[in-house]
């Protein structure tokens, strides 16, 4: 049995390692304002986090992770470049798997840097690999940025690209949209009837029920215009859809993947910047002493873990313990910082980091001993 | 000990439950005054009747404080996580039919499917700066359904009653609620999404999976259920 004090000691050891690498220790409240997290993550976070209520402060959440409070801390700190480390409990509801804990300690490292992105990605990955190296873990990596670039490069309307981008983290809806845009699925009956009526010059709104609710007539008309434009859009070609599938299904060592992606970017020029970013990252990893040649890469990795990962993503797993969740996960989340600064419209900044579960580190260490 | 049978304490659901048991050869009756929540099971030894709110029956079954219970499938799925690990569905009783559905204003002529709802949610958030609100009391079922179908950019707002009125009152853009005929939806200028059926519910006899009964009581329970469902095809 691993005691709580053992876990905290291990967490301190890990944060000590990150401090030695230049990180400032940072604390975060356990009770976080719910509205920021809900606005960012949507309704799903309610199913994962504990929501509670304060008579004066309204809805609060038991800290489901450190990412948001650390980003907010950095925004107040005002510096361009900074490294942070933290440790503490996070709380997650478990509605499906009673064996998973509802409360566990996390240790993390976050790097905010306006410098070279590849170098920052490599720095974070190399630190995690180093501190976890005695455990002999399997590293998985991916790059959501490549997928996003592939969608941006499709020969289709901006509206369709935006819709696909929005659902990169929801594979099922992404697939449904891609099938519809590719003409694989017929237009729904009601949509056909609506488009027909509009084409015949009928005022489709005049015959409808009385208007109720906040969504006004102008918004309904705007969406009908979007639907009419979309119906005139030629289908996404089977070749392009196959290319997206090929990227999603990539599962090879990083150099092989790089070669394949360079081939693909001959036909899809929009892919090139993301592929070159990937190449620079592999070089930066090699400079940090990581054996980039044998690094595993999965095209779909990170798609379902966190909505705002939008570049390099990684995880460390105990290969002979498939029952355990990832020992560590991380990645680049520039998009999240942009969402948090949406209100004052100051744009996103570069952010990459990751978390380790000290309890799992201890459990694996003891199994090795 | 005795086997405890929990049934809804009020209204048509209670009356129909009494009728259903009567037709299956078991007489349930209320004891005490009209207002007192107590009852009895005639003809069968060691089965005790407990009258309680239909909404509390799932929780009481899961805890093993009652061993058999009549309630809607919607309530069991909404209130119990991993519901089928906590209770068994024994006999669908053929009444109390209700569908849990998603509905939008009928004037949204551009919205017919979940795909449309998702697109409108994105448009709405861009335009209004907050997520499209769906009023419901079935938070778990609706959230799971929308996640499985990849709908984003919405939020649930709690509505414990008169949910169909929330859109007109400006507190929600869409609703998710139980309907049997759709009459109330239509009267409030709402329309079902063509793929917005979340769950078909009906009154159902459940048993607990918690192990709070001794061998003798388990035999009583089996004999009781066999009498209600002689063909064993419930």
Q: Is residue B78, in this structure, part of any structural domain at all?
A: yes
Q: Is residue B156, in this structure, part of any structural domain at all?
A: yes
Residues B121, B189: one domain?
yes
B150:A172 CB<8 A: yes
Q: Is residue A280, in this structure, part of any structural domain at all?
A: no
* Minimal C-alpha gap between A285 and chain B (Å): 35
Mutate to test the interface with B, among A92, A167, A197, A213 (most CBs of B within 10 A): A213
Band (A106; pLDDT cuts 50, 70, 90): very high
Q: Is residue A284, in this structure, part of any structural domain at all?
A: no
Q: What is the rounded average pLDDT of the residues A172-183?
A: 92
Using CB atoms, which residue from B81, B107, B150 is nearest to A211? B107
Residues B149, B218: one domain?
no
Show which of residues 173-202 on chain A sit within 8 Å of chain B, judged by CB atoms.
173-174, 176-177, 180, 188, 190-191, 194
Residues of A in contact with B105 (CB under 8 A): 209, 211-213, 215
A303 CB within 8 Å of a chain B CB:
no
Residues B10, B34: one domain?
yes
- The CATH number for A69's domain is 3.30.930.10
CB pairs under 8 A between A and B: 113
* Minimal C-alpha gap between A224 and chain B (Å): 6
Residues B92, B109: one domain?
no
* Segment among A7-11, A301-305, B38-42 with least mean pLDDT: B38-42
Residues A203, A101: one domain?
no
What mean pLDDT value characterizes chain A? 93
Residues A178, A129: one domain?
no
Question: DSSP characters for A77-128?
Answer: H--SSEEEEEEEEEE---SS-TTS-SEEEEEEEEEE-SS-HHHHHHHHHHHH
Burial (CB count within 10 angstroms: exposed 0-12, middle 13-18, buried 19+), residue B11: exposed
Find the helix packing angle between A158-166 and A217-232, rounded to 10°. 110
Residues A131, A161: one domain?
no
Q: What is the pLDDT of residues B82-109, one digit of tens each?
A: 999 999 999 999 999 999 999 999 999 9
| Total domains present in chain B | 2
pLDDT of residue A339: 86
A206 CB within 8 Å of a chain B CB:
no
Residues B192, B112: one domain?
yes
pLDDT of residue B233: 56
Q: What is the rounded average pLDDT of the residues A285-306?
A: 92
Residues of B in contact with A163 (CB under 8 A): 119, 122
Q: What is the rounded average pLDDT of the residues A114-126?
A: 95
Instruction: Report residue B8 as tokens.
Output: 């809804």
Residues A26, A111: one domain?
yes
B231 CB within 8 Å of a chain A CB:
no
Using CB atoms, which residue from A176, A220, A227 is nearest to B108? A220
Residues B80, B121: one domain?
no
Position A227 pLDDT exceeds 90: yes
Burial (CB count within 10 angstroms: exposed 0-12, middle 13-18, buried 19+), residue A312: buried
Q: Which domain holds residue A192?
A: 157-236
* Minimal C-alpha gap between A305 and chain B (Å): 14
Residues A129, A180: one domain?
no
Residues A8, A78: one domain?
yes
Angstrom distance (rounded) from CA A314 to CA B85 = 35
Q: What is the rounded average pLDDT of the residues B42-51?
A: 86
Mutate to test the interface with A, among B62, B78, B104, B105 (most CBs of A within 10 A): B105
pLDDT of residue A200: 94
B150:A211 CB<8 A: no
- For residue A342, give Cα distances in angstroms to A335, A346, B5: 10, 7, 55
Which residue of chain A has the CA closest to B191?
A: A209
Residues B89, B104: one domain?
no
B109 CB within 8 Å of a chain A CB:
yes
Q: Is residue A288, in this structure, part of any structural domain at all?
A: no
Using CB atoms, which residue from B123, B144, B148 is nearest to A219? B123
* Minimal C-alpha gap between A170 and chain B (Å): 6
A205:B107 CB<8 A: yes
Residues of B in contact with A45 (CB under 8 A): none
The interface predicted TM-score of the complex, written ipTM, equals 0.88
| Total domains present in chain A | 2
Residues B65, B181: one domain?
no
E strand or H helix at B113: none
Identify whether the C-beta of residue B173 lies closer than 8 Å to the C-beta of residue A215: yes
Residues A18, A125: one domain?
yes
Beta carbons within 8 Å of A120's beta carbon, 6+ residues apart: A111, A113, A350, A352
Q: Is residue B142, in this structure, part of any structural domain at all?
A: yes
Letter string b/e over residues B35-69, b meaning 16 or more CB atoms within 10 A of that residue's CB: eeeebebeeeeebbbbbbebebbbbbbbeebbbbb
pLDDT of residue A279: 97
Last residue of a domain, one of A190, A206, A236: A236
Residues B132, B66: one domain?
no
Which residue of chain B has the CA closest to A175?
A: B150
Angstrom distance (rounded) from CA A9 to CA B152 = 40
Residues A184, A75: one domain?
no
pLDDT of residue B45: 82
Q: What is the rounded average pLDDT of the residues A351-367?
A: 96
Among all chains, which residue has been given the structure tokens 């989340």?
A333
B109:A95 CB<8 A: no
Tell me the Ramachandran region of residue B94: left when phi exceeds 0, alpha when psi lies from -120 to 50, beta otherwise.
Answer: left
Residues of A in contact with B130 (CB under 8 A): 39
Band (A327; pLDDT cuts 50, 70, 90): very high
Residues B109, B161: one domain?
yes
Burial (CB count within 10 angstroms: exposed 0-12, middle 13-18, buried 19+), residue A242: exposed
Last residue of a domain, one of A236, A258, A280: A236
- For residue B190, give Cα distances in angstroms to B105, B108, B179, B229: 4, 9, 12, 40
Residues A28, A73: one domain?
yes
E strand or H helix at B231: none
Q: Is residue A43, in this structure, part of any structural domain at all?
A: yes
- How many Cβ atoms sit within 10 Å of the Cβ of residue B224? 21
Residues A116, A228: one domain?
no
Q: What is the rounded average pLDDT of the residues A97-121?
A: 93
Q: Is residue B234, in this structure, part of any structural domain at all?
A: no
Q: What is the rounded average pLDDT of the residues A309-338?
A: 94
Among all chains, which residue has been given the structure tokens 């409808």?
A208
Last residue of a domain, one of A196, A216, A236: A236
Residues B77, B118: one domain?
no
Q: Give me the percent of chain B exceeding a pLDDT of 90.
A: 76
Q: What is the rounded average pLDDT of the residues A319-325?
A: 92
Q: What is the rounded average pLDDT of the residues A136-156?
A: 96
* Minimal C-alpha gap between A22 and chain B (Å): 38
Q: Is residue A42, in this structure, part of any structural domain at all?
A: yes
Show which of residues 41-60 on chain B sit within 8 Å of chain A, judged by CB atoms.
none
Q: What is the rounded average pLDDT of the residues A28-56?
A: 91
Position B68 pLDDT exceeds 80: yes
Using CB atoms, which residue from A190, A212, A224 is nearest to B112? A190
Q: Is residue B233, in this structure, part of any structural domain at all?
A: no
* Minimal C-alpha gap between B231 and chain A (Å): 34
Q: Is residue B211, in this structure, part of any structural domain at all?
A: yes
Q: Give the three-state DSSP class for A20.
A: helix
Find, among A351, A362, A285, A311, the residue nearest to A115 by Cα: A351
Specify the length of chain A in residues.
369
Q: Is residue B8, in this structure, part of any structural domain at all?
A: yes
* Segment among A348-352, B21-25, B209-213 with least mean pLDDT: B209-213
- The CATH number for B174's domain is 3.40.190.10
- How many Cβ atoms sit within 10 Å of the Cβ of residue A367? 11
pLDDT of residue B31: 79
Residues A6, A97: one domain?
yes
B115:A188 CB<8 A: yes
pLDDT of residue A177: 93
B123 CB within 8 Å of a chain A CB:
yes
* Segment among A53-67, A273-287, B10-24, B217-231 with least mean pLDDT: B217-231
pLDDT of residue A129: 98
pLDDT of residue B40: 79
Q: Is residue A313, in this structure, part of any structural domain at all?
A: no
Identify whether the C-beta of residue A161 lies closer than 8 Å to the C-beta of residue A152: yes
Show which of residues 65-104 on chain B sit within 8 Å of chain A, judged by CB atoms.
81-82
Angstrom distance (rounded) from CA A218 to CA A229 = 17
Position A222 pLDDT exceeds 90: yes
What mean pLDDT value characterizes chain B? 92
Residues of A in contact with B194 (CB under 8 A): 188, 190
pLDDT of residue B232: 66
Mutate to test the interface with B, among A212, A219, A226 (most CBs of B within 10 A): A212
* Minimal C-alpha gap between B149 and chain A (Å): 7
Counting DSSP H helices and E strands in chain B, the numbers are 8, 12
Residues B104, B180: one domain?
yes
A42:B153 CB<8 A: yes
Q: Is residue B153, in this structure, part of any structural domain at all?
A: yes
E strand or H helix at A52: strand A51-54
* Segment among A55-64, B47-56, B210-219 with least mean pLDDT: B210-219
Q: What is the rounded average pLDDT of the residues A29-42?
A: 91
Q: What is the rounded average pLDDT of the residues B171-178?
A: 97
Q: Which domain holds residue B33?
A: 3-96+202-228
Residues of A in contact with B143 (CB under 8 A): 43-44, 46-47
């Amino acid at each position: 049995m691993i005691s709580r004090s053992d876990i905290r000691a291990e967490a301190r050891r890990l944060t000590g390692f990150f401090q030695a690498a230049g990180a400032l220790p940072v604390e975060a409240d356990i009770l976080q304002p719910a509205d920021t997290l809900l606005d960012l993550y949507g309704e799903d976070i309610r199913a994962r986090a504990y929501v509670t209520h304060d008579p004066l402060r309204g809805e609060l959440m038991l800290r489901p992770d450190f990412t948001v409070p650390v980003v907010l801390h950095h925004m107040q700190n005002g510096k361009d470049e900074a490294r942070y480390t933290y440790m503490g409990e996070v709380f997650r509801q478990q509605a499906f798997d009673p064996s998973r804990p509802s409360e566990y300690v996390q240790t993390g490292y976050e790097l905010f840097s306006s410098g070279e992105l590849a170098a920052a990605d490599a720095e974070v990955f190399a630190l995690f690999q180093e501190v976890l190296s005695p455990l002999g873990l399997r590293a998985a990596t991916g790059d959501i940025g490549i997928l996003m670039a592939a969608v941006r490069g499709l020969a289709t309307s901006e509206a369709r690209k935006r819709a696909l981008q929005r659902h990169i983290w929801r594979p099922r809806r992404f697939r449904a949209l891609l099938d519809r845009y590719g003409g694989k699925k017929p237009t729904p009956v009601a949509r056909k009837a609506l488009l027909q009526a509009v084409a015949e010059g009928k005022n489709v709104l005049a015959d409808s029920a009385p208007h109720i609710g906040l969504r006004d007539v102008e918004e309904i008309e705007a969406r009908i215009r979007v639907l009419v434009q979309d119906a005139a859009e030629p289908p996404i070609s089977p070749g392009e859809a196959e290319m997206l599938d090929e990227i999603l299904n990539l599962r090879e060592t990083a150099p092989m993947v790089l070669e394949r992606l360079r081939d693909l970017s001959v036909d899809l020029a929009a892919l090139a910047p993301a592929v070159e970013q990937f190449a620079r990252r592999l070089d930066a990893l090699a400079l940090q002493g990581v054996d980039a040649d044998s690094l595993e890469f999965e095209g779909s990795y990170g798609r379902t873990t966190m909505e705002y990962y939008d570049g390099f993503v990684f995880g460390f797993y105990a290969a002979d313990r498939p029952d355990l969740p990832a020992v560590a996960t991380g990645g680049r989340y520039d998009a999240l910082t942009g969402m948090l600064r949406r209100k004052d419209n100051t744009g996103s900044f570069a952010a990459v980091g990751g978390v380790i579960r000290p309890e799992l580190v201890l459990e694996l260490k003891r199994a090795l001993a | 000990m005795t086997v405890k049978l929990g049934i809804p304490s009020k209204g048509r659901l209670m009356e129909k439950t009494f009728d259903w048991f009567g037709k299956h050869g078991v007489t349930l009756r209320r004891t005490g005054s009209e207002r007192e929540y107590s009852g009895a099971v005639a003809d069968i030894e060691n089965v005790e009747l407990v009258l309680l709110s239909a909404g509390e029956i799932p929780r009481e079954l899961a805890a093993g404080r009652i061993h058999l219970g009549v309630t809607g499938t919607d309530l069991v799925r909404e209130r119990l996580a991993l519901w089928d690990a906590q209770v068994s569905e024994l006999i669908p009783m053929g009444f109390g039919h209700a569908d849990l559905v998603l509905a939008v204003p009928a004037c949204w002529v551009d919205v017919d499917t979940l795909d449309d709802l998702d697109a409108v949610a994105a448009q709405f958030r861009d335009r209004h700066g907050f997520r499209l609100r769906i009023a419901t009391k079935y938070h778990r079922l609706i959230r799971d359904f929308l996640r499985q179908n990849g709908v984003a950019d919405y939020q649930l707002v709690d509505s414990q009653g008169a949910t169909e009125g929330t859109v007109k009152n400006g507190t929600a853009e869409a609703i998710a609620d139980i309907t049997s005929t759709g009459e109330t939806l239509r009267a409030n200028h709402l329309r079902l999404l063509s793929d917005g059926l979340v769950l078909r519910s009906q009154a159902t006899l459940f048993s607990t999976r918690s192990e709070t009964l001794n061998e003798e009581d388990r035999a009583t329970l089996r004999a009781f259920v066999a009498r209600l469902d002689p063909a064993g095809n419930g």
